[in-house]
Each structure stands twice: as C-alpha cells, then as structure tokens.
C-alpha cells in the first residue's frame, strides 16, 4: 500500500511538471511588427484630389443649413444629401457597401423653429467574419453648415472647413475602404443638424443603444480642413484627437466607480481607443502626429462624438491643431480688410487627406483585429509582487493569442508588452501596484486589438 501511494504521488508530480512545461511555452507570437499590406494600400489610395472635388461640390450648394430649402436640386441641404447619397452609391457600386438615408422629424427645440426632417446619409460596409460582423466602428462628418446666426437658413454658409472637410474625408474613406474586406463592420456617416444641437448623430446613437448595437468605437471628423492658425503659422504635421476620461455625471456608474477606485480614470474605453488610434495612425502616416487631448472637447464647443459618449460608447473627435475662428460660423464679409467666412480658399486638401489617412489606418486596423478582450480581471486575492490577469476567450476563430501590455501610472501610452500565447490567464513579473495593465487579443496575421483595463478580482 505505501508503495502504490508513493508511485501515485510521483505520477501526479510528473503530470504537474509536464503541464507546467506546456504552459511555460506559449504558441509562437504572430509577427506584429510587420505593416499590414491592406492598411498600407488604403492609406496610399486616399486622394487629396478627390477630397478637393467633394469639398468644392458641398460648398457649391450655397448653404447646407438644416432648415434650408430641400426642394432645389442645386441649393440647400436637400440637394446636398441627395448628392452625397448618389456619390456613395456610385463609388460603392460592385462592393457590399449599403447606402441609406436615416431620417426622422425633429420637433421644435431651441435651434429648430419648425418640425424639420433630419437626414443622415449612412453607408455600411458589413464585416466578413461571422464572429466579428456584429461589431461596428463608426466614422462621421457633419454635412450641415451655418452662418453667424444659427437660425439663418438662407444666407451663404459654405462650411468648407466646418464641416465639408470632415464629410469629404468620410466619403473618401467609404469609397476607398469599400473595395476591401474587414472582419468587423464599418459605418460611414454624413450627419445633419450638428449645428442645431447634434441632432442627427444623437438620433443614430440612441437608436444604436436601443438596438443594443455593439459600437466598439466612433470617430467624428469636425473641422479638419485647415493647417493655418489665425496668426498665419502653418502646422500640417499633426491633428488633435479629443478623448474623454470618465463622464462628468453627478452619480457614478458602477463601471466608472471601479475605474476610479483603482486609479484607472485614464483607462476609460475612449482613452484605450485613442491609444490604439494614435499608435496605428502614426505607424501608417509617417511624420504625422496624433496629439491626444485628454478631454472630451474644446471649451464652449461640442461635436457628434458626444451623443455616442452619452450612450456609453467609446468615441473620439478629430480636429485641426489651430483653429481660426474668423473662418467658422461667420457670415461672409470683409471688415477692415479682414475676410470672414468658412471659405474654400482657407482649406488645405493635402491636410484633410492626411487626417483621413489616420482615420483609415485606425479604422482598418480596428476592423481587421479581434475585439478588446472581455471580463479582464486582475487577481488581488493575495498580497504578491507579481500580477496575474484572467479574461474570457475572444470569439473570433483567427485569434492567435493575447498580449499583456503595461505602462507607468504617469505614462500616457503603453511602454511594455508580453506575448502570453492562447491562454486566458497569465502572470507578469511586475507589481500591479506600480503599473497599469491591459490585455489585447492578436490574430494570426498580427492584427492587434484595443486593450482592456482589468478590474480587480478578490
Ligand atoms: Zn462642426
């Protein structure tokens, strides 16, 4: 009897050693340093010439005020939206791009003087992977414009920068990207009534939440048309990316409370999306900086990312580095030799193309990569000087495994990474007290997804 007990104990020890050695040798890491050919092609195809043609056409509608004429074929917001839809249908022909109006009637409100039909033009590129096609990334620009008086629906309001620039970028992205295949779905939106209170974007975002749509990220491009500051300086080497931390609500949600309780206020889903966007944007658009601004928007201003933030989605805003307020929301006029108005002569088409390329690189990498891992937890049941993370396996069939990333608690971007293989638990020899961790999923082609911040697990 004693002999058999010893041998069974030995056997158990041998088995444990064998399983430990398999666990210690994770599957080979995909090459994540290699640029993706598809993303390089998309970035290269984005054309300043086509963007210029879109901006010229949009400016040519005279005004695109939300309450402007809708009957004319040449002037007003109705003609503008019919042209945007027709153009997207034309360039998307022969691709799976689905173009539709998303319309509703907005009641009277402070910036809407009579019930008004608000129409978004929405082009959807369905994802090609079953496990990822219900994950959506949305990119928008607003095609409505305004003069000095936000209720003035008849004066000239070219809105060349605000926001024909963003609308043109979104149209170009839709036309270029529709020819390629992605795992997740992409939604390209030209929205209306931004200037009247973010009405078009809010309508879509509220519907998305009601349908429980998995919008894993949203970008708005608003005022991305000029590289020239009001003092005449040119800065065409960067774009600002506004990223919210946690919402400024009176009551904290449980999710927000958990973030704040562990010092994770810089690890909100929008900040994780911003990290990914900066990394991929700067990787594929050489010499161009994505300057993340750690606030939801500029003072006194808002944008179409805000309704998405209100619905709990990760959402970011792209805007040029130095705005010239003489060329936004202004009646066309000259005062003391100074020209006012949002005119096409102040727009830099090469600059818009660069910002569009950053969008394209980020959207393509997001839609090719696996989702951010779910239910990521950091084990805190014992006092230890290493850190063990656990998570749920990703649903995508092409997931090769996971990476744990980390950074100092005062650092903005990831500083370290460890490939851990296709597992759902791993330990890093770093103290959880001193760094912030994230877990990313990686597919077999080397596409890396957005990181998830762990919540503590006792
Ligand atoms: Zn705007």
Position 32 in a domain: no
**Chosen domain end from 334, 368, 402:** 368
Domain count, the chain: 2
> Are residues 168 and 250 part of one domain?
yes
Could you tell me the distance, in angstroms and rounded to a whole number, from the CA of residue 224 to the centre of ligand 1?
9
Neighbouring residues of the ion ligand 1, judged by CB less than 5 Å: 162-163, 222
Could you tell me the distance, in angstroms and rounded to a whole number, from the CA of residue 222 to the centre of ligand 1?
5
Query: The domain spanning residue 395 has which CATH number?
Result: 2.60.40.10
> Are residues 276 and 377 part of one domain?
no
Position 8 in a domain: no
> Are residues 177 and 140 part of one domain?
yes
- Encoding tokens for residue 64? 């695109």
**Chosen domain end from 334, 349, 368:** 368
> Are residues 193 and 132 part of one domain?
yes
> Are residues 122 and 55 part of one domain?
yes
Query: The domain spanning residue 135 has which CATH number?
Result: 3.40.630.10
Position 174 in a domain: yes
Position 86 in a domain: yes
> Are residues 411 and 343 part of one domain?
no
Per-residue burial over 178-213, b = 16 or more CB atoms within 10 Å of its CB, e = otherwise: bebebbbbbbbbbbbbbbbbbbbbbbbbeebbeeeb
Intra-chain end-to-end CA distance of the chain, in Å: 41
Distances, alpha carbon 68 to alpha carbons 72, 78, 80, 118, in Å: 10, 8, 11, 11
Distances, alpha carbon 383 to alpha carbons 375, 379, 380, 386, 408, in Å: 22, 10, 7, 9, 20
> Are residues 315 and 393 part of one domain?
no
Position 2 in a domain: no
- Encoding tokens for residue 420? 């851990």
The pTM assigned to this predicted structure is: 0.93
Within 8 A by CB and 6+ apart from 204, the residues are 102, 120, 122, 189, 191, 307
Could you tell me the distance, in angstroms and rounded to a whole number, from the CA of residue 105 to the centre of ligand 1?
21
CA angle (334, 164, 190) in 5-degree steps: 150
Residue 235: alpha-carbon gap to chain centroid: 23
Q: Which residue segment(s) compose the domain that 353 sits in?
A: 37-368
Position 26 in a domain: no
Could you tell me the distance, in angstroms and rounded to a whole number, from the CA of residue 210 to the centre of ligand 1?
26
Using CB atoms within 10 Å of the CB of residue 165, give its burial: 0 to 12 exposed, 13 to 18 middle, 19+ buried. buried
> Are residues 442 and 321 part of one domain?
no
Could you tell me the distance, in angstroms and rounded to a whole number, from the CA of residue 261 to the centre of ligand 1?
36
> Are residues 314 and 398 part of one domain?
no
Could you tell me the distance, in angstroms and rounded to a whole number, from the CA of residue 31 to the centre of ligand 1?
40
Could you tell me the distance, in angstroms and rounded to a whole number, from the CA of residue 184 to the centre of ligand 1?
28
Q: Each residue's pLDDT tens digit in the chain (458 positions)?
A: 444 444 555 555 555 444 444 455 677 889 999 999 999 999 999 999 999 999 999 999 999 999 999 999 999 999 999 999 999 999 999 999 999 999 999 999 999 999 999 999 999 999 999 999 999 999 999 999 999 999 999 999 999 999 999 999 999 999 999 999 999 999 999 999 999 999 999 999 999 999 999 999 999 999 999 999 989 999 999 999 999 999 999 999 998 999 999 999 999 999 999 999 999 999 999 999 999 999 999 998 999 999 999 999 999 999 999 989 999 999 999 999 999 999 999 999 999 999 999 999 999 999 999 999 999 999 998 888 999 999 999 999 999 999 999 999 999 999 999 999 999 999 999 999 999 999 999 999 999 999 999 999 98
> Are residues 382 and 359 part of one domain?
no
Could you tell me the distance, in angstroms and rounded to a whole number, from the CA of residue 362 to the centre of ligand 1?
22
Q: Please state, in angstroms and rounded to a whole number, the distance separating the CA atoms of residues 421 and 215.
A: 27
CB 96, CB 176: distance < 8 Å? no
Could you tell me the distance, in angstroms and rounded to a whole number, from the CA of residue 195 to the centre of ligand 1?
7
**Chosen domain end from 353, 368, 383:** 368
> Are residues 42 and 179 part of one domain?
yes
> Are residues 378 and 351 part of one domain?
no
CB 69, CB 76: distance < 8 Å? yes
């Amino acid at each position: 009897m004693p002999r058999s007990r010893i041998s069974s104990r030995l056997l158990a020890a041998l088995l444990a050693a064998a399983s430990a050695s398999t666990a210690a040798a994770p599957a080979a890491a995909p090459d994540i340093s290699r640029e993706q050919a598809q993303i390089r092609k998309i970035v290269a195809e984005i054309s300043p010439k086509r963007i210029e043609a879109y901006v010229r056409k949009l400016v040519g509608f005279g005004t695109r005020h939300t309450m402007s004429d809708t009957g004319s074929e040449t002037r007003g917001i109705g003609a503008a939206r019919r042209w945007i839809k027709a153009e997207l249908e034309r360039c998307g022909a022969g691709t799976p791009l689905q173009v539709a109006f998303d319309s509703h009637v907005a009641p009277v409100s402070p910036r809407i003087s009579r019930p008004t039909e608000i129409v978004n033009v929405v082009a959807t590129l369905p994802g090609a992977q079953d496990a990822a096609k219900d994950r959506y990334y949305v990119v928008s620009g607003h095609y409505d414009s305004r003069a000095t008086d936000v209720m003035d629906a008849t004066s000239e309001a070219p809105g060349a920068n605000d926001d024909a620039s963003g609308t043109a970028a979104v149209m170009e992205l839709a036309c270029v990207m529709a020819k390629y295949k992605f795992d997740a779905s992409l939604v390209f939106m030209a929205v209306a009534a931004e200037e009247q209170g973010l009405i078009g974007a809010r309508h879509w975002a509220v519907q998305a939440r009601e349908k429980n749509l998995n919008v894993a990220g949203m970008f708005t491009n608003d005022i991305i048309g000029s590289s020239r500051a009001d003092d005449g300086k040119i800065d065409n080497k960067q774009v600002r990316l506004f990223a919210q931390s946690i919402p400024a609500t009176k009551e904290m949600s449980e999710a927000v409370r958990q973030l704040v309780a562990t010092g994770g206020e810089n690890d909100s889903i929008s900040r994780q999306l911003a990290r990914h966007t900066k990394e991929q944007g700067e990787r594929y658009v050489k010499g161009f900086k994505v300057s993340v601004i750690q606030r939801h928007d500029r003072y006194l201003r808002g944008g179409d990312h805000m309704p998405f933030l209100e619905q709990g989605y990760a959402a970011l805003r792209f805007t040029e580095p130095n705005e010239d307020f003489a060329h936004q929301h202004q009646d066309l006029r000259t005062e003391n030799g100074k020209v006012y108005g949002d005119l096409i002569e102040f727009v830099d088409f090469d600059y818009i193309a660069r910002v569009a390329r950053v969008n394209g690189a980020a959207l393509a990498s997001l839609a090719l990569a696996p989702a951010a891992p779910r239910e990521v937890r950091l084990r805190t049941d014992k006092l230890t000087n290493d850190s063990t993370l656990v998570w749920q396996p990703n649903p995508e069939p092409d997931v090769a495994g996971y990476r744990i990333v980390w950074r100092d608690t005062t650092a903005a971007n990831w500083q370290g990474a460890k490939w851990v293989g296709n597992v759902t638990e791993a330990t890093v020899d770093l103290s959880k007290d001193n760094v912030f961790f994230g877990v990313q999923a990686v597919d077999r082609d080397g596409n890396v997804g957005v990181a998830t911040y762990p919540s503590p697990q006792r």
